[in-house]
Amino acid sequence: MSSIISVANLSKTYGSGFKALKNVNLDIKRGEIFALLGPNGAGKTTLISIICGIANPSQGKVLVGGEDIQTSYRKARSLIGLVPQELHTDAFESVWATVSFSRGLFGKPKNPEHIEKVLKDLSLWDKKDNKIITLSGGMKRRVMIAKALSHEPQILFLDEPTAGVDVELRKGMWEVVRGLQQSGVTIILTTHYIEEAEEMADRIGVINKGEIVLIEDKTTLMQKLGKKRLTLHLQGKIASLPESLRHYELELCDSGATLVYDYDTKGERTGITSLLGDLRAAGIRFNDLDTTQSSLEDIFVDLVRTS
Amino acid sequence: MNHRAIRAIYLFEMARTWRTLLQSIVSPVVSTSLYFVVFGAAIGSRISQVEGVSYGTFIVPGLIMLSVLTQSIANASFGIYFPKFTGTIYEILSAPISYFEIVLGYVGAAATKSIILGLIILATAGLFVPLHIQHPVWMLAFLVLTAVTFSLFGFIIGIWADGFEKLQMIPMLVVTPLTFLGGSFYSIDMLPPTWRTVALLNPVVYLISGFRWSFYEIADVSMAVSIGMTLAFLVICLVVIWWIFRTGYRLKN
In a domain, B253, yes or no: no
Residues on chain A touching B95 (C-beta within 8 angstroms): 77, 105-106
In a domain, B171, yes or no: yes
| C-alpha radius of gyration, chain B, whole number | 19
- Model confidence at A92: pLDDT above 80: yes
- Model confidence at A293: pLDDT above 80: no
Residues on chain B touching A107 (C-beta within 8 angstroms): 2, 4-5, 96-97
Mean pLDDT of A267-284: 86
The mean pLDDT value of chain B amounts to 88
- Model confidence at A198: pLDDT above 90: no
Cα–chain center distance at A97: 31
Residue A294: band (very low, low, confident or very high) from pLDDT cuts 50, 70, 90:
low
Check CB contact of B9 with chain A, cutoff 8 Å: yes
Task: Name the β-bridge partners of A7.
Answer: A26, A62
Q: How far apart are CA A303 and CA B105, in angstroms?
A: 47
The number of distinct structural domains making up chain B is 1
Is the CB of residue A190 less than 8 Å from the CB of residue A35?
A: yes
Is the CB of residue A153 less than 8 Å from the CB of residue A185?
A: yes
Q: How far apart are CA A119 and CA A95, in angstroms?
A: 9
pLDDT on residue B170: 84
Q: Where in chain A are all domains bearing CATH 3.40.50.300?
A: 3-223
In a domain, B33, yes or no: yes
pLDDT on residue A11: 96
> What residue numbers bound the domain in which B26 lies?
3-247
Using alpha carbons, select from B175, B17, B248 the residue that is nearest to residue A58.
Answer: B248
Is the CB of residue B51 less than 8 Å from the CB of residue B186?
A: no
Helices (H) and strands (E) in chain B — how many of each? 12, 0
Q: Where in chain A are all domains bearing CATH 3.30.70?
A: 227-306
Lowest pLDDT segment from A42-46, B38-42, B179-183:
B38-42
Q: Find the residue in B nearest to A75 (Cα).
A: B96
Residue A193: band (very low, low, confident or very high) from pLDDT cuts 50, 70, 90:
confident
E-strand stretches of B36-104: none
Mean pLDDT of B246-253: 80
Q: Find the residue in A nearest to B9 (Cα).
A: A105
pLDDT on residue B109: 96
Residue B25: band (very low, low, confident or very high) from pLDDT cuts 50, 70, 90:
confident
pLDDT on residue A246: 86
Higher pLDDT, A285 or A228: A285
The C-alpha of B98 sits at a distance from chain A's nearest C-alpha, in angstroms, of: 8
In a domain, B252, yes or no: no
CB contact under 8 A, B4 and A108: yes
Mean pLDDT of A117-143: 91
Check CB contact of B93 with chain A, cutoff 8 Å: yes
CB contact under 8 A, B94 and A52: yes
CB contact under 8 A, B252 and A88: no
Mean pLDDT of A119-138: 91
Q: Find the residue in B nearest to A77 (Cα).
A: B96
pLDDT on residue B174: 85
Residue B26: band (very low, low, confident or very high) from pLDDT cuts 50, 70, 90:
confident
pLDDT tens digits, A141-188: 889 999 999 999 999 999 988 776 777 777 888 888 899 999 999 999
Mean pLDDT of B170-188: 84
ipTM of the complex: 0.86
Nearest-5° Cα angle at B21, A136 to B237 = 95
Nearest-CB residue to B248 (from A56, A84, A86) = A56
In a domain, B120, yes or no: yes
Check CB contact of B249 with chain A, cutoff 8 Å: no
CATH architecture entry for A227-306: 2-Layer Sandwich (3.30)
E-strand stretches of A129-202: 155-159, 186-191
pLDDT on residue B236: 94
Higher pLDDT, A104 or A176: A104
Residue A9: band (very low, low, confident or very high) from pLDDT cuts 50, 70, 90:
very high
E-strand stretches of chain A: 3-13, 19-29, 33-37, 59-64, 67-68, 80-83, 155-159, 186-191, 203-208, 211-217, 227-234, 251-253, 258-264, 286-293
Output the pTM of the full model.
Answer: 0.83
Helices (H) and strands (E) in chain A — how many of each? 10, 14
Lowest pLDDT segment from A10-14, A78-82, A104-108, A158-162:
A158-162
pLDDT tens digits, B52-105: 788 888 889 998 998 899 899 999 999 999 999 989 999 999 999 999 999 999
What is the percent of chain A with per-residue pLDDT over 70, rounded to a whole number? 95
CATH architecture entry for A3-223: 3-Layer(aba) Sandwich (3.40)
Residue A224: band (very low, low, confident or very high) from pLDDT cuts 50, 70, 90:
low
| C-alpha radius of gyration, chain A, whole number | 24
Nearest-CB residue to B8 (from A84, A88, A104) = A104
Q: How far apart are CA B6 and CA B11, in angstroms?
A: 9
Q: How far apart are CA B202 and CA B181, in angstroms?
A: 8
Mean pLDDT of B198-225: 88
3-state helix, strand, coil in chain A (%, to 5): 40, 30, 35
Q: Is B20 helix (H, G, I), strand (E, B) or coil?
A: coil
3-state helix, strand, coil in chain B (%, to 5): 80, 0, 20
Q: How far apart are CA A77 and CA A155, in angstroms?
A: 10
Check CB contact of A105 with chain B, cutoff 8 Å: yes
Cα–chain center distance at B78: 14
Higher pLDDT, B4 or B130: B4
Using alpha carbons, select from A185, A189, A275, A192 the residue that is nearest to residue A228.
Answer: A275
- Model confidence at A67: pLDDT above 90: yes
Nearest-CB residue to B90 (from A82, A92, A108) = A82
Check CB contact of B1 with chain A, cutoff 8 Å: no
What is the percent of chain A with per-residue pLDDT over 90, rounded to a whole number? 53
Is the CB of residue A69 less than 8 Å from the CB of residue A4?
A: no
